[in-house]
């Protein structure tokens, strides 16, 4: 992969120096996982940071006898950084939602790179703060109607990972159970809301292609309270 493509694909490396990008490219390891395969396991010690080259993964946590999906990540995002930064066991699982290609950088080398490149270090902090803000937003939405919560999830997925197409913004056809968990609503609520959005023509689900088309991002954003 060329350095320009690498830095454009992964926002974390937008501010990194060309020397840093070349070094990272020389030490990355490629991985491929099929759908439903566990990539990382909760309570395992962190030994690498992972970057999503293509495909979709979900971050989940065991709560008693249940498993709850906390986040959905797509192309260009990363995970596994917390366990190596605070040198503790991982607090979540990561499971492939689709066939996924990942790049990994060992914990030791990633930490070394952060110390060497102050711009990369600063960018890392920025993205972690953004994740914290997203968590705060979910907390602020906890008393909002289910439709607003789900619209926020769809808009965020579209803004962060969506691909433009002739049919609208294209995202992965995330299982309803996972959409419900991330949106903090019930499965029944998620099912009814998605059916209603589909009937309104704001979204279109194409199961054969494993795709949800967000046909009217403006209306979804308005429903989510982002306009």
Judge if 32 and 101 occupy the same domain: yes
Dump pLDDT digits (tens) for 37-84. Answer: 998 876 566 688 999 999 999 999 888 888 999 999 999 999 988 777
Q: In terms of residue numbers, what domain contains 42?
A: 3-139
Q: Are 76 and 129 within one domain?
A: yes
Instruction: Out of 139, 170, 187, pick the residue that ends a domain.
Output: 139
CATH value at residue 216: 1.10.10.10
Same domain for 10 and 90, yes or no, is: yes
Are 151 and 81 part of one and the same domain? Answer: no
CA 75-50-151 angle, 5° bins: 40
Does residue 89 have a pLDDT over 70? no
Domain boundary among 139, 165, 193: 139
Same domain (yes/no): 135, 152: no
Residue 2 has which token pair?
Answer: 């060329």
Residues 23 and 118 in one domain: yes
Residues 157 and 204 in one domain: yes
CB-based contacts of 96: which residues, under 8 Å, 6+ apart? Answer: 33, 34, 35, 36, 37, 38, 39, 55, 56, 57
The pLDDT score that the predictor gives to residue 31 is 94
Statement to judge: residues 133 and 148 lie in one domain? no
pLDDT in tens, 109-139: 988 888 889 888 899 889 888 888 888 888 8
Which of 139, 156, 172 marks a domain boundary?
139
Query: For residue 93, what is the domain's CATH number?
Result: 2.60.120.10
Q: Which residue has the tokens 């439903």?
A: 36
68 and 119 inside one domain = yes
- For residue range 181-217, what is the model confidence (pLDDT) as tens digits? 999 999 999 999 999 999 999 999 999 899 999 999 9
Task: Read off the pTM.
Answer: 0.90
69 and 178 in a single domain? The answer is no
Q: What is the number of domains present in the chain?
A: 2
Is there a single domain that holds both residue 51 and residue 127?
yes
* Greater model confidence, 140 or 171: 171
Same domain, 118 and 156: no
List pLDDT tens digits, range 142-154.
889 999 999 999 9
Tokens of 103: 């790049």
Q: Tell me the DSSP string of 31-86.
A: EEE-TT-EEE-TTPBP-EEEEEEES-EEEEEEETTEEEEEEEE-TT-EE-HHHHHT
């Amino acid at each position: 992969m060329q350095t320009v493509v690498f830095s454009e694909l992964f926002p974390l490396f937008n501010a990194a120096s060309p020397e840093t990008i070349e070094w990272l490219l020389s030490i990355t390891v490629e991985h491929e996982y099929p759908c439903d395969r566990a990539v990382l396991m909760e309570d395992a010690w962190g030994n690498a940071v992972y970057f999503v080259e293509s495909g979709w993964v979900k971050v989940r946590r065991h709560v008693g006898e249940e498993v709850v999906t906390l986040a959905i990540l797509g192309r260009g995002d990363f995970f596994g950084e917390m366990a190596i930064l605070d040198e503790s066991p991982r607090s979540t699982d990561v499971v492939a939602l689709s066939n996924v290609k990942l790049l990994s950088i060992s914990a030791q080398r990633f930490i070394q790179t952060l110390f060497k490149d102050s711009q990369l270090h600063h960018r890392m902090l920025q993205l972690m703060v953004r994740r914290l803000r997203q968590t705060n937003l979910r907390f602020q939405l906890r008393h909002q109607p289910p439709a607003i919560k789900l619209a926020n999830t769809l808009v965020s997925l579209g803004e962060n990972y969506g691909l433009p197409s002739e049919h609208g913004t294209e995202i992965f056809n995330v299982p309803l159970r996972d959409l419900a968990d991330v949106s903090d609503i019930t499965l029944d609520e998620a099912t009814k809301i998605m059916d209603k959005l589909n009937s309104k023509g704001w979204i279109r689900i194409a199961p054969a292609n494993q795709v949800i088309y967000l046909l009217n991002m403006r209306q979804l954003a308005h429903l989510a309270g982002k306009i």
